[in-house]
């Protein structure tokens, strides 16, 4: 389903058993690389979303700014590998010749949200961004290429895959809120979003 040029939604792409297996893999990633609470560059204001990463590079944000780095800022260890299932998913739907080198894991509790933004910290701004949703539904906001462009609201449900590529790679997007109790995947509720990106040009 093409939502706007270059923005493709694959509703319920992962069936429940695949979601459960992926959740187990994400839990193992979080055990190795505990969730962090990023801070806004400059002000140090904490994000409501908690994050960690897998892969050669991970996205971090603190008072010094946004960046990709090869290690977890708390443990100093390299990020755990990107689960093979996600690499296969990228091959299947991303339509890009090289694998992702970063997998951001976002965890939203029932009060978390993410303001409207573009993903543009990558050196390669042509490779698509692929995201997978698990757990409670998100009220997702999708805009255009300029901050002031009209936006639309859509639900991202557990198992949905969204690809921002081509003419949609730099679309503004954000998460207005989570709908608590809308999924039974996470026993304590909440939402996980996994974002695969290619940071370094090939
Ligand atoms: C993000 O833009 O980093 C995450 C989007 C989402 O949670 O669906
Ligand atoms: Fe984003």
Contacts of 144 (CB under 8 A, 6+ apart): 4, 150, 151, 171, 172
Nearest partner of 33 among 57, 14, 17, judged by Cα: 57
Residue that has been written with the tokens 């949200």 in this structure: 113
Reading the block at residue 59, the tokens are 């996205």
Nearest CA to ligand 1 atom 8: 193
Query: Please, which residues bridge with residue 142 across strands?
Result: 152, 173
Q: What is the pLDDT of residue 202?
A: 81
pLDDT tens, residue by residue, 142-171: 999 999 999 999 999 999 999 999 999 999
Q: What is the pLDDT of residue 57?
A: 98
Q: What is the largest CA-CA distance in the chain?
A: 42
State the closest ligand 1 atom to the C-alpha of 117, by its place in the atom list counted from 1: 2
With contact defined as beta carbons under 8 Å apart, do 95 and 129 qualify? no
- Choices 2.60.120.590, 3.90.550.10, 3.40.1670.10, 3.10.20.600: CATH for 2-197: 2.60.120.590
Q: What is the pLDDT of residue 104?
A: 98
Query: Please, which residues bridge with residue 154 across strands?
Result: 140
If you measure from the C-alpha of residue 87 to the centroid of ligand 1, how many angstroms do you get, rounded to a whole number? Answer: 18
In the predicted model, is pLDDT for residue 199 greater than 90?
yes
Cβ(156) – ligand 1 distance below 6 Å: yes
Q: What is the pLDDT of residue 170?
A: 97
If you measure from the C-alpha of residue 129 to the centroid of ligand 2, how many angstroms do you get, rounded to a whole number? Answer: 8
Q: What is the pLDDT of residue 63?
A: 94
With contact defined as beta carbons under 8 Å apart, do 58 and 72 qualify? yes
pLDDT tens, residue by residue, 73-114: 999 999 999 999 999 999 999 999 999 999 999 999 999 999
Contacts of 143 (CB under 8 A, 6+ apart): 116, 149, 150, 151, 152, 171, 172, 173
- Rounded to 10 deg, the angle between the 16-32 and 84-93 helix axes is 130
If you measure from the C-alpha of residue 7 to the centroid of ligand 2, how many angstroms do you get, rounded to a whole number? Answer: 13
pLDDT tens, residue by residue, 119-148: 999 998 999 999 999 999 999 999 999 999
Q: What's the pTM value of the predicted model, to 2 decimals?
A: 0.96
Contacts of 40 (CB under 8 A, 6+ apart): 46, 47, 61
Cβ(175) – ligand 1 distance below 6 Å: yes
pLDDT tens, residue by residue, 4-26: 999 999 999 999 999 999 999 99
Q: What is the mean pLDDT of the chain?
A: 97
CA atoms 20, 22, 26, 31: torsion sign: positive
pLDDT tens, residue by residue, 48-70: 999 999 999 999 999 999 999 99
In the predicted model, is pLDDT for residue 174 greater than 90?
yes
> Which ligand is nearest the CA of 162, by number?
1
Nearest partner of 139 among 95, 180, 199, judged by Cα: 180
């Amino acid at each position: 389903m093409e939502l706007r040029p270059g923005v493709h939604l694959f509703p319920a792409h992962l069936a429940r058993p695949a979601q459960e297996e992926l959740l187990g893999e994400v839990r193992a990633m979080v055990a190795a690389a505990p969730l962090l609470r990023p801070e806004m560059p400059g002000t140090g204001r904490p994000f409501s979303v908690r994050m960690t990463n897998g892969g050669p590079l991970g996205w971090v944000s603190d008072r010094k700014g946004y960046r990709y780095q090869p290690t977890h800022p708390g443990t100093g260890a390299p990020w755990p590998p990107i689960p093979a299932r996600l690499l296969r998913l990228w091959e299947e739907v991303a339509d890009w010749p090289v694998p992702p080198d970063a997998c951001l894991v976002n965890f939203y509790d029932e009060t978390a949200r993410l303001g409207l933004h573009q993903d543009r910290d990558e050196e390669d701004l042509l490779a698509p961004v692929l995201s997978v949703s698990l757990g409670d539904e998100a009220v997702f906001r999708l805009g255009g290429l300029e901050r002031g462009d009209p936006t639309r609201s859509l639900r991202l449900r557990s198992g949905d895959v969204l690809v921002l590529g081509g003419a949609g790679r730099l679309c503004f997007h954000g998460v207005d809120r989570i709908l608590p109790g809308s999924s039974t995947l996470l026993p304590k509720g909440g939402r996980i979003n996994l974002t695969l990106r290619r940071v370094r040009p090939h």
